[in-house]
Structures are given as structure tokens and as C-alpha cells.
Amino acid sequence: MTTTSLTSSQGAGRAGDKVFSGAALAAGCLILAVLFGVALFLVIQAIPAFTAPAADIQGGEGFFAYIWPIVIGTLIAAIIALAIATPVSIGVALFISHFAPRGLASGLGYVIDLLAAIPSVVYGAWGAAFLAPQISPAYGWLAANMGWLPIFQGPASATGKTILTAGIVLSVMVIPIITSLSREIFLQTPKLHEEAALALGATRWEMIKMSVLSFARPGIISAVMLGLGRALGETMAVALVLSSGALTASLIQSGNQTIAAEIALNFPEASGLKVSTLIAAGLVLFVITLAVNMIARWIISRHKEFSGAN
């Protein structure tokens, strides 16, 4: 190689370095800009809904009277989903990390990941066509025998398309998320802690209780919060499964609505102020899930050893 070609290639190299690092930096900044833009454009398009006279908003009583029942509905659905998904996910994660035979464990993990691969609209269709009719007799039983509880107040929905069914479908969609995150954390338990517990004569369950679960508690909390973020924002399962209506305390009657499903059901035909109202509802959902996710990420980052859990 001659000197000239060497120097010239060096010159090109320097420019290439600048261009390349500049492009990388720009891409990183673009992501920040996109997240900022999400908030900005939602706010811009939502402003008419906040400033419009109360009578023009759907329901005729202003934006906040419109939004709070569906916020409550969203929370109800998410809480049902988490109440079911959390114990099941922790059990599945423990099964894969500490109970299943070594050779099978990764294969079983893949099977659970398949749950996450199935598109949400398919879950919605499954919930509406298969689960709801199958589960409605159980609702009848609940209404007859536990109807004194406000949440099981009858008459039960004959179609089974209730917020409880939607919550069950949501829980199925949340299980793989909480499972895979908790599994990662369980596997990071220091081996010496586990072996020390076993050497002291602990049974497997005592070992898990003492070393694995106490080590993983913050990780489990953040995994559940990330699952909550997913459950809050999930649209299709609720839109297809729930026959929506006004806010009711009973989980086994048709009624209630979530923000995401409200947007999906109404946005395609909306125009004018209705679009702004729905975008404002989306903004509310965005703020709620952002808060939940940031708290979860903050818990993770506070315990740096869980960084592999992402």
C-alpha cells in the first residue's frame, strides 16, 4: 500500500467516523423525539376536547364525566387480569426455573413464549367465541350462590360477555410477560444461597421461600407492574369480548368499558370533536401506562442486578 492511498483512506476514514457516529447519535435522539412527539401530538389533537363546551362531549357532561367511568373500567379489567395472572405466572416461572427437569426447561419456556406470540385479535376472537359461552353457566352459579357480594350481583349475563371474561382473557395475555421476566430473575438467584439452604436441610419449598423469593421480590413487583402496563393498554381482547355499557359494580353482568376498547370501537367512524375526545382518552391511557412503566423501570434500575430481566 502506498503512502498516498494510506493518507487518503485515512481522510475518508475520519469523515466516515464522523458520519457514522453522527447517524448513530441522530437515531438515538430520534427515539427521544418520537416519545416526546407522541405526547405532543396527542396533546395538540386532544385540546379541543378539553376546551369544548361540556354539552358537546359525548354524554353531554364534559370530558371528565365521560372519561372517569372508562378509567375505572380499565382498572377493573387490569386488576382482574393481574389477580389471576400473578400467582399463575410465578408458579410457571418457578416450575421452569426450579422444578422442571433441566433438559426440558428451555423447551417449556419456549412453549410459554408461544402464548405471547399469538396475536391479540385471535385471543379476542377466542374469548368471544369459545370462552364466553363456556363460562356463562359458572356466572349463573355465582349469581345464584354468591349474589350477596356486589361484584357477583345477578342477573348474570347469558352470553358470558362480561368484564370478568375480558379480565380472564387479559390474564392469559399477561401471563407470558410476567413469567418470562420472573423466570430470568429466579435464575439469577445466587447458587450459593440455594445450596446453603439445602445443605441446612431445607426442603425445596423452604429453599425457594428463603432464598429465591426473598431475593426476587423487587423483580417480581416490577414484572407485575410491566404486566399491568400491558393489561391496561390491551385493546382487542376487551373490544371483542366485552359487551360494553355503563359502569357497574357487578363483574358478571354486561357493562363497563375500557379506554382502549372505547377508542378502537369508536375511532374508525369518528369525526370532528369525537376524534379529539378519543385522542384525549388515549392521552389519559398513555399517562397512566407511562406512570406504571416508569415506576416498574425505576424499581428495576434501583436493583441493578436485575438488569438482565428486561
Partner 1 sequence: MTSTLTPVRKRSALTKGQLPKYAPYVVLGVALVLGAAILALIGFNAFGWGVVSAILFAAGLVGWSAAVEGSRKAKDKLATCLVVGAFLVALLPLISVIWTVMVNGIPGLLNPGFLGTSMNGVTGVFDNRAAEGTGPVVGGIYHALVGTLQITLLATVISVPVGLLTAIYLVEYGNDRPLARAITFFVDVMTGIPSIVAGLFAAAFFFAVVGPGTKTGAVAAVALSVLMIPVVVRSSEEMLKIVPNELREAAYALGVRKWRTILKVVIPTAISGIASGVTLAIARVIGETAPILVTAGFATSINNNVFGGWMASLPTFIYTQILNPTSPSNPDPSSQRAWGAALVLIILVMLLNLGARLIARVFAPKAGR
Shortest distance, position 16 Cβ to partner 1, whole Å = 5
**Residue 233 makes contact with partner 1 by CB under 8 A:** yes
Nearer to partner 1, 38 or 52 (CB): 38
Measured distance CA(175)–CA(265) in Å, rounded: 25
Binding mask 43-62 for partner 1 (x = CB under 8 A): -xx-----------------
* Cβ density class 36-55: b for 16+ within 10 Å, e for less: eeeeeebeebbebbeebeee
Residues 83-102 that bind partner 1 (CB under 8 A): 87-92, 94-96, 99-100
Beta carbon of residue 21, minimum distance to partner 1 (angstroms, whole number): 5
Shortest Cβ 278–partner 1 spacing (Å): 8
3-state secondary structure of 153: coil
Distances (CA, A) of 271 to 42, 275, 286, 294: 16, 5, 21, 33
138 contacts partner 1 (rule: CB under 8 A): no
Judged by CB under 8 A, the number of residues near partner 1 is 95
Q: Which one of residues 220, 232, 242, 252 is an interface residue with partner 1 (CB under 8 A)?
A: 232
Query: Interface with partner 1 includes 80 (CB under 8 A)?
Result: no
The total of other beta-carbon atoms located within 10 Å of residue 189's CB is 20
Please say which residue, 57 or 231, places its beta carbon nearer to partner 1.
Answer: 231
Dist. CA 40–CA 128, nearest whole Å: 36
The answer to the question of residue 124 lying near partner 1 (CB under 8 A) is yes
Residues 192-211 that bind partner 1 (CB under 8 A): 203-206, 208
Restricted to residues 272-301, the positions that interact with partner 1 (CB under 8 A) are 275, 278-279, 282, 285-286, 289-290, 292-294, 296-297, 301
Q: Is 1 in the site for partner 1 (CB under 8 A)?
A: no
Q: Does 68 bind partner 1 (CB under 8 A)?
A: no
* Residue 42, amino acid: L
Could you say whether residue 71 binds partner 1 (CB under 8 A)?
Answer: no
Question: What's the closest the beta carbon of residue 298 comes to partner 1, in angstroms?
Answer: 9
